[in-house]
Each structure stands twice: as structure tokens, then as C-alpha cells.
Amino acid sequence: MTVSGAGDHGEQQALPGLAVPRARRRTVRGVQVAESLPVARVLLDVAPPHLDHSFDYLVPAELSEAAQAGVRVRVRFAGRDVDGYVVDRLADSDHDGELQPLRRVVSPLAVAPPSTIALCRGVADYYAGTMADVLRAAIPHRHARAEAAVLAARAPVDPRSSLPPRPDSVWRHYRGGEALLTRLAAGEAPRAVWTALPDAVSSQPHWARGICAAVQATVRSGRSAVVVVPDGRDVDLLVTTLRESGLPEWTVREGGAVVRLQADQGPEARYRAFVAALTGRASVVVGTRGAAFAPVANLGLLVCWDDDDPSHADERSPRVHTREVLTVRARLDRAALLLASPARSLQAEALLAHGWAREIVADRATIREMTPRVFALTSVEVASDGPAGAARLPSRAWSAVREGLTRGPVLIQVPRSGYFPMLACGRCGERAHCRHCHGPLRVNSAGAIAQCEWCGALAGGWRCPACGNTAFRSVRVGSARTAEELGRAFPQTPVRLSGMGAVAGVLPEVGSEPQLVVATPGAEPRAQGGYAAAALLDAGVSTAHDGLWTETAALRRWLIAASLVRPASRDGVVMLVGDAAPGPTQALVRWDPAGFAAREYGERQELGLPPAVRMATVVGDPLAVADFLRMVAMPPDAEVLGPTPLMPSLVERRLSPDVRAIVRVPQRSGEMLARAMAAGRARASAERRQSLVRVEMDPRDL
């Protein structure tokens, strides 16, 4: 349609024999329309998938200057006011009806620049999601006071002026490491997968110093960098390392080069960091998952540390992962990408296998020099101990712990938190479940009554439905019970507990004096000078679960804990206790995560399993799933597996007879599958059938 009030040129006269065109009105419903580009194309923050497209609105004359591309606006939609983002200004609209005017411009700051819109669109398409869901994760809520403070702050200063001469970096230990820095400093965009070595002795580990050197090289080229890490402890460590290397943290009063962007900062601090990056006042962003979308100017480098950490995966729809966001962004912005980890994810191995990224690893001599000595104490190794070999801490591990305490702190990793996190019948071994919701029973402390892990109901008077017995026995021993047992075994040694359920919470660091530190995976504190020894208990539990990612996750957890132990040259020893799967066990003993990932990925290619293929799951009522699969136009090479009932434990937790269908395609058809699933979701939403099925791309819980 021709928009009222569009343009400021005289109207063209009609040719002979043609109808005279209508005069353009400059007001609509009493609203004065902007003279130039009177149509705003707006993306709305609405959930239904069939509304995942832009809508046209008229721009009132008084909002014309502020309503530029990227600003946040309020509009009227379906009888209510909703938020949206202007993505373009147009002279005309292809809408046949009358357009509504914009209600107001929330802020003249363009918080959704074209690069952010393109990234969110790419991520939404990859996961068959909606722009509204991705934009919600990418752009924090506005905080007016924080915005005003940043805009009034001093103008950005070139951070290159504060950088010292290039120091001797840790990259010299790795093949291709120095070449990476050279290319970054030259303004190029290399893509690399880095397997970082441990460095427990230094106050700043290898990975932090290596990332710092890569960021410095990028800043020297006049570009910006975004670094995403799993948690706040890593953010603190990396910001400290950057500050000591000449890149100070940004503040409103003093300026600086680095900002933190974390979900737990609070709305004001988070939005202040977001605006500082958006306006170019800070050229380096360090943060957790949401920082992957940070809108920095002149992006040069994207870094993801420990890309297989579960914290990088968003549980909200469409369940995006940091690694995939940065991969999409590296393609769109032609920026360098560095995936760094003590282990190696299979997704990173896939990038190497396809030649999209290059490998950066140390040679075997360097690995042996910098890693502790690892022993795997399986049932075969401890058989010579006789009955003592069945103990949770066999004699060889016991001796290693006792000897390690003469030289410094010792780390004990336990897979589960709590006291007795899982119970069974003391007579027949049947798992103990709650009478009300059928959830698993546990004991939280010594002398406590068993209670349900799901609903919290106490299990007083419990009786085994299989044999009628009323006594429990423990199936799993948690970190609290382990700390209690070690305290009795080593009465003169301090025992500290680190974990989410511990009284002191997650300990950031411990001293160098002899002590026992019991921690759950991910909660291991660094020790000054490194741990003298470590015992990784219940290894068999870590690889006993069903799942595609169980073994890779177990190896990663073991490597992170072992990385905190002193190298073998300083008598550092790691004991892996338990009958774990042979693949990750041998990879830990050899300290060869790259070889394990390569072998595992090769097997996935032969078997047609992720990440060698792309998958989508459709979960819901059997009839709804079958109807959805008939509705979707699948790629020609798609293979539908199922539908099949969900695992019994999942059914019991949801109390729903759902089924799951799996759609599998080769990697080359992944985009086609995502588009097909998105179209199916949109159609189901338009027909009000969206709530009957749940669609997920690249599911992580298979």
C-alpha cells in the first residue's frame, strides 16, 4: 500500500486515460505521520511461532527522529501493548490494511543493531526457534539509570595505548599457538580448537593466560573480543588476568577496556555492561552464557572456554548452546573463533573433521612434563588387596592420600552431593521410591529420616513393595558422608567440603597446608601451589548412566579435577577409583582427550549418531506426534525413528503417557530439517495445536 504522509516530493500527474491517484494523507486517526520513511518494520516480543515475522507500523512525526533501526518500541498488538524492536524504516508497506502507529519509543539507543538481528535470526533458524525467544536472551531488560550513566561517561579510549610489549606467552607450548597470535594481531580470522594443558602450580592457569594473550593480540589489531566462560569464578579469574596484562576493567568514572556480562550481576550492572559494549566504551566482554550475544563494535575474536560445560546450555526454549551461537556469529561476522577446553567436545571434533577449524595441541613430551601421573584402580588392579579391595578407598588410593597429605592438600572428588543420595531395600536391593510420587528416596544427614528427592515427603514407615522389608541400605554415597568418613579416618587433618549443598558453598580457593578437600564435579577449588594428590571416587558411577554424552562428560570432569594436581615432576598423583568405562579411563591415564574425541566421533559417523548427524525430537501425545510428523515436509534423506514411549523414569516424573519421535538427517540436510520443524511449529501454532507437542533440535538428553 502507499503510506499516508510518505515522501516530500510533489505528486506525479496521471497520464492521459489513467485514473488520478489518491492524494497522500499526512494524518491517520489524528496522528501526524512522519514525512520521510513513515513505515517502521518491527519485530515483536510475542511467543506464538506463527507470529515469528516482522510487522509494519506507522511512524508518528514526533517519533521519527528517535524511531531508528535497532531501538526498542512499544506498539499495539492484538488489543494490548507489547515490546518490539525496529529493524528497518521504509517508504511504503506491502500491507493491504490500515497501519497502526507506534505507541512510543522506549529509548533512542539502538540496542538491536543489524548485526544482533542477523545473529538472532541465524540462531533461531539453527534451532527451529523464534526470534522473540532468542532476542529475550540476547538483549537484557532496559535500566534507565544505568543507560544514562554510561552515555554520560567519558568517551572510549583506544585500549592499545595501555598494552605492554608482547610477553612470552603460554602458546609456545603448543603446535600452532604462536601462529594463532600472529594471525590475530594481523587482523585475520583464524578458527581453532585448543586443548589446554593443566598448570596447577601457577596462580593463573594456562587457559586464562592463553586466552588473555589471544585477546591482547586481537586488541592490538584494533578489534574487539568476546570471551564466554561457564561461571562467575572463571569470569573473576579471567578479568584479573586481563587487568594484570594491561587491559583494566571498565568503570563509569575511570573507563577501561573490559566489562563483565553475567546473568547474576543484577539488572542495573548487567545493562550497564551491555551499553558499555554497545557504545564502544569497552572493547572486551567477559561473561557467562548471555555474553555470546554481546554487541561489540568491530568484532575480531570469539572465545568459548570449556565448551562442554553444562552451564553453556540454556534450558529455556529453544535451548541454545554457547558454542553454536559463537559458531554462527563467527560465520556471520567473519570473526576468529577459539574453542578452548581441558578436554575436547565431540562438536569441536566435528569442526576439525570437516576442516572448518584447526587443532592446537601440545606434543607428547610437553604433556608428560605438565600433567600429573594417573593410575586407574579398577577391580582388576585392586584384586591383590583381598577383601580390602572392595573398600570405597582401596589400599593403594589410601596410601596415595596419606602420602600426599605429608606434602600438601589432597582433593577427593565425589560424583554426588548429599549424604546418602540414593537408597534401596536392605534385603532385596529394590530401589526405594516415595509412596506419593514414586520419586527416589534419600537421606540428607546422619540420623535423618529418609525423604523423597522430588516432593520432599518423609518416608517414615516405608516398606519394600517387593519383599516387605523396612530397612534401607545406601546405593550411592554423597560428598557429605564421604567427608564424615574421611574425618574419622584422618582425625588430625582438616576436612573441607565444597559444593552447592555444603554449608560453606563452593570454595573458590584453599591454602597450601595439608588438608582434605571433598568436592563434587565443578566445585573443586584451586589450591595454592596445586594439590599434592587427588582421588576421583566412584568412577563407575560416572559412566554407568545411559546417554550419548555420558562418557565424554565423565572424562571432562576427571580432567578438570586432575588439572588441579601438581605435575608428575613434582610428585603429583591422581587415583581414578572404580570400574569405569575403558575408553575414558584410558584417555585419562594417557591424558589424551583429543585421541578419545577422534575415536568417539569416528564411531558416531559409522553409527549415524550426533554430532555426526543432526536430530530433532518431537514429544507429546501419541496422536499429536503422529499428526505433527504427517504435517511436516521432511527433507528427502530424513529418517524417522519411533514414536516410542519415553523412559519409565521420565514418565513417572511427568505423570504423562508421552511418546517421542526422533528425526535424523545427515549434517548437509540440517538446515532443511530445522526449517521444516520451524514451519511445522508455526502451522501447529496457527491451528492452536502448539501445546500438544514439544519440538527440540539437537536434544542433549538422548
Whole-angstrom Cα distance, residue 432 to residue 458? Answer: 12
Report residue 369 CA to chain centroid gap. 32
Q: What CATH number is given to the structural domain containing 682?
A: 3.30.70
Question: Tell me, what's the pLDDT at 107?
Answer: 93
For the packed helices 267-278 and 144-151, what is the interaxial angle rounded to 10 degrees? 40
Q: Consecutive 10-residue runs of the chain (702 residues): their mean pLDDT?
A: 42 48 54 88 92 93 93 93 94 86 94 96 95 94 93 81 74 93 95 94 90 95 96 94 92 92 91 95 95 95 96 91 97 97 96 96 94 90 62 83 95 82 76 81 76 82 84 74 85 90 85 94 93 93 85 95 95 93 95 96 94 94 90 93 72 61 94 94 83 86 78
Quick: pLDDT tens for 256-309: 999 999 988 889 999 999 999 999 999 999 999 999 999 998 999 999 999 999
The alpha carbon of 501 is separated from its chain's Cα centroid by a whole number of angstroms, namely 22
**Which domain-ending residue is among 57, 90, 110?**
110
Which amino acid would we find at residue 651?
V
CATH of the domain at 503: 3.40.50
Q: What b/e readout covers 89-109, taking b as 16+ CB neighbours within 10 angstroms? A: beeebeeeeebbbbbebbeeb
* SS3 state at 609: coil
Domain count, the chain: 4
| Whether residue 63 sits in one domain with residue 163 | no
* Longest distance between any two alpha carbons in the chain, whole Å: 108
235/230 Cα distance (integer angstroms): 8
Residue 260: per-residue pLDDT: 96
Same-domain check for residues 385 and 519: yes
Q: What's the pTM? A: 0.88
- 257 and 202 in a single domain? The answer is yes
Question: Are 433 and 442 contacting, i.e. CB atoms less than 8 angstroms apart?
Answer: no
Tell me: do 336 and 380 sit in the same domain: no
Q: Which amino acid is at 71?
A: V
Report the pLDDT value the prediction gives residue 29, as an integer from 0 to 100.
64
**Domain harbouring 43, CATH code:** 3.40.1440
Do 232 and 262 lie in one domain? The reply is yes
Do residues 377 and 357 share a domain? no
Domain presence at residue 398: yes
Q: Give the domain range for residue 663.
A: 613-697
> Is residue 495 situated within a structural domain?
yes
Phi, psi of 238 (to 5 degrees): -70, -40
What whole-number distance in Å separates Cα of residue 450 and Cα of residue 471?
A: 11
- The pLDDT value given to residue 14: 47
So what's the pLDDT on residue 4?
A: 42
Considering the domain architecture, whether residues 510 and 553 belong to the same structural domain is answered as yes
pLDDT, tens digit, 9 for 90 and up, residues 1-42: 544 444 333 334 445 555 544 434 466 666 788 888 999 999
Report residue 224 as a C-alpha cell.
Answer: 574487539
CA within 13 Å, CB half, 273: 24
Residue 601 lies in a domain: no
- Residue 228 CA to residue 216 CA, distance in Å, equals 16
CA 448 vs. chain centroid, Å, equals: 36
357 with 378, same domain: the answer is no
For residues 329 and 152, is the Cβ–Cβ distance under 8 A?
Answer: no
Residue 153 maps to which CATH number?
A: 3.40.50.300
Out of 366, 386, 401, pick the residue that ends a domain: 366
Say if residue 358 is in the same domain as residue 386: no
SS3 1: coil
From residue 265, how far is each of 232, 258, 272, 325, 507 by CA, in Å?
A: 10, 15, 10, 22, 19
- 271 and 179 in a single domain? The answer is yes
Tell which of 366, 400, 431 closes a domain. 366
> Residue 283, Cα to own-chain centre: how many angstroms?
22
Do 192 and 337 contact (CB within 8 A), yes or no? Answer: yes
